[in-house]
């Protein structure tokens, strides 16, 4: 039997087409300023065999890249789909890989229910993943019900997200190990969740295959592993400052933007006034990661207590 080579791809990367941040809407700061072309070059330079772009609820960046490179057989059209856990205000992000314009279009009306999105993607034979499991979870539903319903639905889980803390990623792997002992099988994928060029391909997925189709089929069948760095305060702060730097560049027409001249002028004025407060993003990064660590510790204690009551040992991942 022939052994397939292993291919690498960062399966969680954002571009200019991921939309705007929800903070300070007057400034119209984009979630990311990286162009699809820049992302492709950075990923290839860092050893990726395949390149994916997974913008928030958009494949426009992928289409722009393919317009310029229609024969790019090493490019994966991806999307990070924001869905809702039914009857709650709890968002769940789903990564979809190897889609097209029809699939993107038909997904949009289903986003109110993550289970409808998963069923549709499975019917279409599209590999899809459950991303950063606890990023939005704040106890909106009972913890075990939340995990069990999602893990029963998703056979591919993002077990290493390059923005989430090591504790977050390891907790996900602990849960997957528990389900494996009960007979379930999962592919563990990884991605940088990069909104700036500096972190692209520092966290990624390895899967067998000689080409894009075989790589994606390996993921769909549960044969992949997550590799690379975890998130921390310096990495998050560096990315925030990178986005801010690129935002300033967009105000000076040095980076892509969709601002009118009046919006640019107003934003430049407010940006100059904000210069004494450029320590704030560092404080935001510290606060976000402190909050994430506290929540993960709380959910893990709750999960382990329930698991012990069921008589199922929960071991640390290797």
| Domain at 14, CATH number | 3.20.20.140
272 inside domain = no
Number of domains in the chain: 1
pTM of the model: 0.87
The pLDDT of residue 79 is above 60: yes
Question: Per the structure block, which two tokens stand in for 215?
Answer: 């790589």
What pLDDT is stored for residue 25 in this prediction?
55
Residue 11 lies in a domain: yes
**pLDDT: which is higher, 254 or 33:** 33
Give the model's pLDDT for residue 249: 64
Q: Spell out the residues 6+ positions from residue 51 whose beta carbon is closer than 8 angstroms to its own.
A: 9, 10, 39, 40, 43, 44, 74, 75, 76
In a domain, 294, yes or no: yes
Q: Establish if 16 belongs to a structural domain.
A: yes
Confidence grade of residue 184 (pLDDT, cut at 50, 70, 90): confident
- pLDDT of the residue at 93: 98
Residue 316 covered by a domain:
no
Q: Is 246 part of a structural domain of the chain? A: no
Helix axes 143-151, 280-309, angle to 10 degrees: 90
Name 159's Cβ contacts closer than 8 Å, sequence gap at least 6: 169, 172, 173, 176, 188, 189, 190, 226
Average model confidence (pLDDT) across the chain: 87
Q: What is the pLDDT of residues 131-145, one digit of tens each?
A: 999 999 999 999 999
Whether 210 is covered by a domain: the verdict is yes
The parent domain of residue 221 ranges over: 7-241+279-309
Write the pLDDT tens digit of every residue in 213-251: 999 999 999 899 999 999 988 887 778 767 776 776 666
**Gap between the Cα atoms of 203 and 11, Å rounded:** 9
Q: Is the Cβ–Cβ distance between 150 and 133 less than 8 Å?
A: yes
Q: Is residue 269 assigned to a domain?
A: no
């Amino acid at each position: 039997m022939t052994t397939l080579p292993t291919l690498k791809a960062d399966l969680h990367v954002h571009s200019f087409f991921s939309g705007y941040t929800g903070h300070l809407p007057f400034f119209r700061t984009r979630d990311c300023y990286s162009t699809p072309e820049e992302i492709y070059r950075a990923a290839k330079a860092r050893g990726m065999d395949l390149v994916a772009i997974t913008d928030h609820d958009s494949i426009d960046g992928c289409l722009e890249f393919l317009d310029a490179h229609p024969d790019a057989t090493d490019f994966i059209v991806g999307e990070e789909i924001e869905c809702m856990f039914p009857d709650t205000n709890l968002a769940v992000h789903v990564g979809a890989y190897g889609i097209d314009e029809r699939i993107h279009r038909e997904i949009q009306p289903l986003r109110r229910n993550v289970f409808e999105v998963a069923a549709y993607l499975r019917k279409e034979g599209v590999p899809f993943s459950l991303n950063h499991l606890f990023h939005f979870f704040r106890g909106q539903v009972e913890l075990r019900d939340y995990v069990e319903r999602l893990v029963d639905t998703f056979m591919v889980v993002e077990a290493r997200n390059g923005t989430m803390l090591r504790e977050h990623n390891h907790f996900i792997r602990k849960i997957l190990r528990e389900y494996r002992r009960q007979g379930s099988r999962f592919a563990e994928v990884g991605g940088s969740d990069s909104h700036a060029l500096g972190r692209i391909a520092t966290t990624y997925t390895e899967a067998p295959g000689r080409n894009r189709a075989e790589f994606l089929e390996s993921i769909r069948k549960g044969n992949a592993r997550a590799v690379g760095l975890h998130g921390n305060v310096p990495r998050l702060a560096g990315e925030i400052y990178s986005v801010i730097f690129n935002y300033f560049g967009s105000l000076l027409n040095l980076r892509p933007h969709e601002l009118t001249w009046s919006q640019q002028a107003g934003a430049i004025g407010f940006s100059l006034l904000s210069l004494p407060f450029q320590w704030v993003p560092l404080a935001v990064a510290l606060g976000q990661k402190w909050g994430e660590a506290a929540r993960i510790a709380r959910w893990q204690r709750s999960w382990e207590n329930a698991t012990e009551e069921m008589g199922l040992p929960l071991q640390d991942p290797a």
